[in-house]
Amino acid sequence: MTLDANDGILESVLQEYKILAEYERLQSEDLGGIYVTPSYENPFLWFGVIFVRSGMYKDGVFRFTITLSNRFPNDDAVPVVTFQSDVFHPMINPSDGVLNTSDAFTKWQSGDSRIWQLLKFLQFVLQNLDDHTLQSEHVANSDAYRLLVENRAEFQLRVEQCVDESQQKLYDLPAQPDRFYICFDRFNPDVHGPVLASMKENKSAEVTTPPSSGLSWVRKGFYQPLSK
């Protein structure tokens, strides 16, 4: 094996270690309501689900992916956040579901920029839209921005529609199956009831990232993830 080949393998291993370190760091951050896991097939693709707890999009359950650049984190390309269902939001492109993150990340800075910061930004724009001052250059959906400014009632109606749609799609399976895709079962009292009772008895803390193994489900009408 040539020296160049050895260098390439070492670089690949170091890169995978850095990606894993990014994922491990999520465990210690306050990301309540967000589930994230890297794809089993592709470490540069992460699956995510956010359960929105407040604001206009409250009770929305939105699936998204995070796509890392091939040289992550050693270049300045910001990871791409793409929603898997329609989210009527001024900063989310209606044609491809991509969130405009340039408001918070003009470029990715290795060692300073973190995936958890990107997720906190995603959480903020969904739960605190009224607190966010939008600049015209950051608007990805001009119709949503126009209604937000000019017709608040109609904007709220459109948001409620996408929230309802997100709940209906919660249990959908992926078009291309992946072992680490985040799936939720419908609440089954016979299967999940005893586990839920045990969690209440032990006052278990809510898990914000998927466990390595166990049970995950969502109770109808509550739209809160429960895991054991």
In the prediction, which pLDDT does 156 show?
A: 97
The rounded mean pLDDT for the chain is 83
Q: What is the CA radius of gyration of the chain?
A: 19
In order of their start, the domains of the chain are 3-183 (3.10.110.10)
Stretch 113-117: mean pLDDT: 94
Asked if residue 166 lies in contact with residue 62, where contact means CB atoms within 8 angstroms, the answer is yes
Instruction: Please answer whether residues 33 and 53 qualify as being in contact, where contact means their C-beta atoms are separated by less than 8 angstroms.
Output: yes
Whether the CB-CB separation of 215 and 192 falls below 8 Å is answered with yes
- Residue-wise pLDDT tens digits, 191-216: 667 776 777 777 544 444 444 444 44
Q: Which of left, alpha, beta for 62 (phi over 0: left; psi -120 to 50: alpha)?
A: beta
pLDDT, tens only, 139-164: 999 999 999 999 999 999 999 999 99
Which range is least confidently modeled, 49-53, 82-86, 195-199, 218-222? Answer: 218-222
pTM of the model: 0.79
- Residue among 115, 97, 113 nearest 37 (CA): 115
